[in-house]
Amino acid sequence: MQKINDINGREFSIFESHSLTCTKNGHNKFWRGKLGKQDNAKTPEDIKKPWVVLLEWGRIGTVGSKEEKRFLREHAALTYIQGRLKDKLKKGYEYEPGSPVISGKVSHIPTVVENVKAVKYVDTEWDLL
């Protein structure tokens, strides 16, 4: 399982990861979203809200901005990141060419999918096309 550090350097395991770009109509933007669970939570906040959604966005070629949201329950974190992803896809963002997508049910081992052409949200799950 892929590991990553959050904004404060705490390690967490990735369950979902999406990397999108928008280059239509003169736009030159990126958006990345990662969902994970805090490994070895020690502080009261980490123990209380171990699920982390890390978002990055901005103009392609820049560092951009970062935001971290923490959640008590995996379902809340999953709903949040999937909602943001759905919003971006509606606005014309597309999966970054060649970028792997990590997706799967949070409670199960995720799968890595290369070169996704599109995504379709069906009920409570994403279908990768």
CA 72 → CA 26, 28, 49, 99, 129, distances in Å? Answer: 39, 34, 4, 29, 31
CB 101 within 8 A of CB 128: yes
> What pLDDT score was predicted for residue 43?
76
Q: How many residues does the structure list for the chain? A: 129
Residue recorded with tokens 């052409």: 117
Could you tell me which CATH class the domain 3-128 is placed in?
mainly beta
Residue 112 has pLDDT above 80, yes or no: no
Look at residues 39, 32, 33, 36 and name the one whose alpha carbon lies nearest to residue 15.
Answer: 36
Mean pLDDT of 85-104: 79
Q: What is the pTM of this model?
A: 0.71
Distance in angstroms (rounded) separating the CA atoms of residues 105 and 16: 9
H or E element that contains 44: helix 44-48
pLDDT greater than 80 at residue 37: yes
pLDDT given for residue 63 in this prediction: 92
Q: How confident is the model at residue 62 (pLDDT cuts 50, 70, 90)?
A: very high
